[in-house]
Amino acid sequence: MHYSSAVWSSYGLFLLTIILLFLRGYWLRNKTFLFLKRWLAKA
Amino acid sequence: MWTFLYQLASPKIFYERTGTYQIPLLWIAISLMTVGAIWGLFFAPPDYQQGDTFRIFYIHVPSAFLSMMLYAYMGFLSLLLLVWRIKIAGLMIPLVAEVGAAMTCLALLTGSLWGKPMWGTYWIWDARLTSELILFFIYLAILALHHAYQDHEKGDQLTAILTLVGLVDLPIIHYSVYWWNTLHQGATFSLLSKPKIALSMLPPLLFIFLGLLFFSVYLILNHARLVLLIRERRQQWVKLVCKEGK
């Protein structure tokens, strides 16, 4: 497949956006439960 | 239907009900996007004028459409908060804005990559491009405003007001290609007429659009449930959720 770099870059950006958004959700989940467990231990 | 929606306004019921949809939504989204991307890259026919560069269309159009659709949804959430005082709506506005900003950024970048081979430039201060860039700045302003307030109720309300003000940009983006002479092409799809694209080129677009839509809903629900836990942490049900770790 001899597509131009613009095509591959676009699909790469698409993949990168999906991965980053997913990882941010995963990181937020861990951060939230860590915060809540500490807060509940203090309360 | 209305009973179901009213029940969702309760934080505990919202948390429980949405939890069951999350994982199926994610898998449906990944499947649709994978099929769409492979179809768009390897099986869709090339355009007779643009050749294979046209394949950027399958990323650019769904992300640009979602950037506007998510903003319209934020407008609806703002009305729910300001008129009907539904707190979960206020909580969701900045979460939708995060995903919307990512989609707008993707649309601008892929549009720029498409612009270079077709127009000979990555960027031009064309009406469509500029109004979409303004939408990106509005998303950033909403996020900045929301994060500036520690009192989340006040932050939610001001964010909702700013969101409603920013709604004026949506018709400008949509009609920019008709109101001004622009390099950007006119709309490929409209509600009242047939699509201006060959039907054999259409399926990857639908797959990627639906995939991105489901993925956005998954992200928003995931984030909303977490913010809800923090805001409601003094409630007994949150303590139970934390113990179970779900």
Instruction: Give pairs for B186-190: CB < 8 Å, separation 24+.
Output: B188/B61
Phi, psi of B187 (to 5 degrees): -65, 135
Q: Minimal Cα–Cα distance from B59 to chain A, Å?
A: 7
Nearest Cα to Cα of residue A10 among B35, B136, B113, B211: B113
Residue B1: how many CB atoms within 10 A of its CB?
A: 5
Q: Which of A22, A24, A29, A26 is nearest to B29 (CA)?
A: A22
Span A1-43, pLDDT tens digits: 688 899 999 999 999 999 999 999 999 999 998 888 888 888 7
Token output for B8: 């969702």
pLDDT in tens, B66-102: 999 999 999 999 999 999 888 888 899 999 999 999 9
Q: From A20, which residue of chain B is nearest by alpha-carbon distance?
A: B102
Q: In this structure, what DSSP letter does residue B47 have?
A: B
B48 touches chain A (CB under 8 A): no
Nearest-by-Cβ selection for A25 from B114, B219, B242: B219
Tens-binned pLDDT, residue by residue, of chain B (246 aa) = 667 666 667 788 888 888 888 899 999 999 999 999 999 999 888 888 888 888 999 999 999 999 999 999 999 999 999 998 888 888 999 999 999 999 999 999 999 999 998 889 999 998 999 999 999 999 999 999 999 988 888 899 999 999 999 999 999 998 888 888 887 877 776 666 776 777 788 899 999 999 999 999 999 999 999 998 888 888 888 887 777 766
The pLDDT of residue B198 is 78
What residues in A contact B33, CB-CB < 8 Å?
A: 18
Name the strand (E) or helix (H) holding B154: helix B152-166
